[in-house]
Structure 1
Amino acid sequence: MRVHVILLFCAYVSGQEPGPPPPLPAANEALVEQYKLALEAVFGVGIRLQAFLEGEERENFLVSPISATVILGQLILGAEGEFRKQLVELLALPKGHLYENENYYEKKKNVTFQLPYSTLHLQLASLVKKLEAANDTKKHFTLKQKSALFIDHSVKLNKTFKMNLQNFYNTKIKMFDFQNKQTEALSWINTWVSNNTRGLITSILPEPPSPTTLSIFANYIYFKADWELPFSHELNRDGLFSVTTTETIPVTYMLNFLEQIPYFESPEFRLISIPYVDQELGMYLILPNNDNPHKYDIKTFAQNLKSRQILDSLNQTRRKDVVVKIPKMSLRYSFSLLNQLKKYRAFKKTNIKINSTNVVDKLDDRVDAFNNFTKVDEKDVFLTGAALGAGLRVDDMIQQVAITVNEKGTEAAAVTAATIDYMGGSKNFVVDRPFIFFIRHEASGATLFWGTVSKPK
């Protein structure tokens, strides 16, 4: 028996007419406290997945930590025993705040029952709804998330598992005959994906699912936002992006003079945030300094960049006028989360000691220990609490990303040679070599997307 777990999400960035920038928003302390466990889980997944995939020879790395956390949260509902505990540890949740089972009161049925880590599910589900509710009424900012379970008609789900999927994650459950009607299932699932991601991801299944498939978990996040201070296609120019000291690739650069945006510089790197409309969200760019030995090896740079450094730099940003030059990007990325989960299970068996007590520093210690760990646990992964009669085996967990960054959401037909390379009193931020970016919700600090880019095409 097998379970396919598929994570779907895409991002699309465009621009609108400029206006005076409002004061930069500060984190809402009450909101952060309200979603503390969920936010720590999302942050932990984003940091760890970067390390888990270090061994893969890829030019770019893209992930949605919040989408991955939603899927892992759903797996926790169907997992039992040691595997459930490993999922919780993967999410970097502090043990002192959670118990393996907690009492949960179901209002609709007026019943109380034991639920694994109900605090996590309540906060994570509420956080996602909060982000969706922040959608701008003028359509300048859209964030949508949906989950689905496509399941073979022969499977009898555990009633509690089914109820919790629907209550917490609003999961759509649709029955299929995977044994005899794989082509029909392929068409329906890929159409569901394409429709919900506005065609940015046209398919997730390259071929009909195996006749032995029993269920497919799917989650997508669709994000579209307009820049607070838009770029103009009239300022675009063709140029070269330095992949290494000897290799360059042609790109189209976008230029803009951005007033009073968050800016930070240190001996190792510089950071800016390009705000979206109403500054509900921001795209953060981290660029290694010119004298950094890993300025072209962005994977090693990211590996050495501690999460504490990132958090401290965000707290130390100041508003500056910045001339920004960044490449237009259209990127796609897909990877198996299950392989990394199996590596994590094998890693746990080595009993590597972690000395730090602070949550953030402990994350860094574990990432450092994991970076050179390549062994894979070959044992099957089962969701023993998900179905009646037999445990469902997790066959794969796939996350696919599509992200487009441009001026207004459409390709420009004409490019002029206008320049704004320097304006008096401003900082210059020229992204012409490998860089890190992440998109986060400012009020809560939730990380929606994280990536390292070596080739922005």
Structure 2
Amino acid sequence: MPLTIPMKFTLCLSLLLTGLQVHCHHVPGHHEELEHNGEPNPPEPQQQPLEEGQGTEPTRLKISKINADFLFRLYNLITSDPVPKNVFFSPLSITTAFALLTLGAKNETHHQIFNGLGFSLSDIEESEIHGAFKRIIHTLNQPNNVTQMNIGNALFMEETLPLQPKFQNDVITFYEAEGIPTNFKNSTAAEDDINNHVKNKTNGKITEAVQGLDPNTLMVLVNYVYFKAPWKNPFDPELTRETDFFVDATTTVKVNMMYREGYYDYLYDDSLHYWVVRVPYNEEYSAWIILPDQGKMKAVEDALSTELFLKWEPAMKHEEIQLYLPKFSISGSYDVKDLMKKQGMNDVFDDRADLSGITGHRNLRVSKAVHKAELDVQEGGTEAAAVTVLEFVYHSGRIFTPPVIKCNRPFLMLITNEPLHHFIFMAKVMNPAVK
């Protein structure tokens, strides 16, 4: 069931692709075909969608907090590399793809995926989790005349792959996924089909989502997030000037620095020594700029948490400031498989995987998981793109003089949907001169 939302322009774009490559593999001690008097294991009871009126605000806030906690854990893993570099990714894209994957996961694999995302099924019902993602997707896909936001999922499936009816129903019901029959034996044509689909969904921002596709692939799951929005108060291009950006104590690069004097929500944290400025887009989206003082980035990163973020808004002033923000384009590429393993999500990537909810047999595993993202910030607004690929195979501020907040040193950026209390993207800008 394709999702068609009219879009005209875009600022932030994120994608997640999940590819399933499969080969025959016997799971020791597993005899599902012979159980229950020779019949396959009976399907579990049909998971019911949340009914209208269910999914209370406290439940939705709990899920948004879990997703925020996942964001900061993932950020800490990504930035554990001792070499400082630009970071950009979409936590929403990654969590959506793996949450969708749980619809086909069973037993320990099912448990590990939810635990890796931060969900405890003893505290929250699985139907509420999927219902929350359904609400997020539905809400973000509402068309409007200014901000463009589109999130969706597509399953590219080997033409002979027998999917379980429950899995097919649930991925459509909860995740608005569309199924696209694909001949992976002709891997070149399959790559073209996937890349053209991604290119179309991302307005040409991502043109090579997959490459070197294994002809044994049985399924590729694509999650895309596409967002473009103008600043509520655009920067005047006439005021943009070339200036120095201090990457570190020994490295300085030239950047085009935008400037605007106006009223913003902002604060300065005296204990950790950093500025926070909320720069609104039109309607319900905002960019949060976190600018540590020179030499304080590591201390601020160590303190980043959902609790810290929740303290910012009530502490902010709404006053006039002088804001300097560089124009920049950065990108990120990550091995999500490695990142998820570090969070205890192991079985789904090896021969212990139980994804029998997809085909009815324990014969699939995720062979590859990659996330790619791009971010572009200009006077008019912000543009970003991200893609994640997973492949599966058979088991084998002051009042008188406006304070000056000048982002001429490394800073962080969060893009949020305010009504949903959800983070869409996160960036660390170490060197805006490096894409």
Query: Shorter-chain TM-score category?
Result: 0.7 to 0.9
Cα distance in 1 for residues equivalent to 2:418 and 2:326: 24
Is the Cα contact below 8 Å between 1:148 and 1:173 reproduced in 2? Answer: yes
Aligned residues: 367
Show CA shifts across 1:141-170 (max 9, x none): 111011011111231111111110111101
Query: Is 2:200 aligned against 1:201?
Result: no
Cα distance in 2 for residues equivalent to 1:203 and 1:194: 8
Cα distance in 2 for residues equivalent to 1:309 and 1:272: 14
1:88 corresponding residue in structure 2 = 114
1:341-380 equivalences under 5 Å are 341-345=340-344
1:53 corresponding residue in structure 2 = 78
2:401 corresponding residue in structure 1 = 425
2:423 pairs, out of 447, 450, 454, with 447
1:294 pairs, out of 293, 296, 301, with 296
1:217 corresponding residue in structure 2 = 221
| Alpha carbons of structure 1 residues 260 and 178: separation in structure 2 relative to 1, 3 Å | closer
Shift of residue 434, structure 1, vs aligned partner: 0.8
Cα distance in 1 for residues equivalent to 2:161 and 2:183: 10
2:129 pairs, out of 117, 120, 128, with 120
Cα distance in 2 for residues equivalent to 1:260 and 1:244: 28
SS state of the match for residue 380, structure 2? coil
| Alpha carbons of structure 1 residues 159 and 145: separation in structure 2 relative to 1, 3 Å | same
Is the Cα contact below 8 Å between 1:11 and 1:402 reproduced in 2? Answer: no
1:147-226 equivalences under 5 Å are 147-179=153-185, 181-207=186-212, 209-226=213-230
Cα distance in 2 for residues equivalent to 1:98 and 1:441: 23
2:265 corresponding residue in structure 1 = 261
Is the Cα contact below 8 Å between 2:279 and 2:288 reproduced in 1? Answer: yes
Shift of residue 310, structure 1, vs aligned partner: 2.3
Is the Cα contact below 8 Å between 1:44 and 1:91 reproduced in 2? Answer: no
Is the Cα contact below 8 Å between 2:115 and 2:344 reproduced in 1? Answer: no
Query: Is 2:405 aligned against 1:400?
Result: no
Shift of residue 251, structure 1, vs aligned partner: 1.0
Is the Cα contact below 8 Å between 1:275 and 1:282 reproduced in 2? Answer: yes
Structure 2 unmatched runs, 5+: 1-8, 13-54, 384-397
Shift of residue 245, structure 1, vs aligned partner: 0.4
1:373 corresponding residue in structure 2 = none
1:436 pairs, out of 386, 389, 412, with 412
| Alpha carbons of structure 1 residues 164 and 410: separation in structure 2 relative to 1, 3 Å | closer
Q: Which amino acid aligns with 1:90?
A: G
Cα distance in 1 for residues equivalent to 2:69 and 2:121: 14
Structure 1 unmatched runs, 5+: 1-9, 14-29, 100-116, 350-376, 412-421
2:390 corresponding residue in structure 1 = none
Query: Is 2:100 aligned against 1:98?
Result: no
Is the Cα contact below 8 Å between 2:69 and 2:306 reproduced in 1? Answer: no
Is the Cα contact below 8 Å between 1:31 and 1:444 reproduced in 2? Answer: no
Is the Cα contact below 8 Å between 1:190 and 1:203 reproduced in 2? Answer: yes
- Over the aligned positions, Cα root-mean-square deviation in angstroms equals 2.7
Is the Cα contact below 8 Å between 2:337 and 2:368 reproduced in 1? Answer: yes
Cα distance in 2 for residues equivalent to 1:34 and 1:145: 22
Cα distance in 1 for residues equivalent to 2:352 and 2:377: 39
Is the Cα contact below 8 Å between 1:63 and 1:401 reproduced in 2? Answer: yes
Q: Which amino acid aligns with 1:261?
A: D
Shift of residue 264, structure 1, vs aligned partner: 4.2
| Alpha carbons of structure 1 residues 343 and 378: separation in structure 2 relative to 1, 3 Å | farther
Is the Cα contact below 8 Å between 2:88 and 2:425 reproduced in 1? Answer: yes
Cα distance in 2 for residues equivalent to 1:337 and 1:303: 22
Identity fraction in percent: 24
Is the Cα contact below 8 Å between 2:320 and 2:399 reproduced in 1? Answer: no
Shift of residue 309, structure 1, vs aligned partner: 2.0
Show CA shifts across 1:335-391 (max 9, x none): 121111122227x99xxxxxxxxxxxxxxxxxxxxxxxxxxx976645232113442
Q: Which amino acid aligns with 2:257?
A: Y
Cα distance in 2 for residues equivalent to 1:407 and 1:156: 50
| Alpha carbons of structure 1 residues 229 and 396: separation in structure 2 relative to 1, 3 Å | same
Q: Which amino acid aligns with 1:251?
A: V
Cα distance in 1 for residues equivalent to 2:429 and 2:285: 20
Cα distance in 1 for residues equivalent to 2:327 and 2:156: 36
1:359 corresponding residue in structure 2 = none
Query: Is 2:102 aligned against 1:72?
Result: no
Provide the TM-score with structure 2 as the length reference. Answer: 0.78
1:39 corresponding residue in structure 2 = 64
2:277 corresponding residue in structure 1 = 272
Show CA shifts across 1:92-117 (max 9, x none): 22444325xxxxxxxxxxxxxxxxx1
Is the Cα contact below 8 Å between 2:288 and 2:414 reproduced in 1? Answer: yes
Cα distance in 2 for residues equivalent to 1:145 and 1:263: 32
Cα distance in 2 for residues equivalent to 1:244 and 1:11: 32
Cα distance in 2 for residues equivalent to 1:331 and 1:318: 30
SS state of the match for residue 11, structure 2? strand
Is the Cα contact below 8 Å between 1:145 and 1:219 reproduced in 2? Answer: yes
Query: Is 2:249 aligned against 1:245?
Result: yes
Cα distance in 1 for residues equivalent to 2:228 and 2:56: 23
| Alpha carbons of structure 1 residues 308 and 169: separation in structure 2 relative to 1, 3 Å | same
Cα distance in 1 for residues equivalent to 2:411 and 2:382: 24
Is the Cα contact below 8 Å between 2:376 and 2:382 reproduced in 1? Answer: no
The 10-residue stretch of structure 1 (195-204 or 33-42) with the greater mean CA deviation from structure 2: 33-42
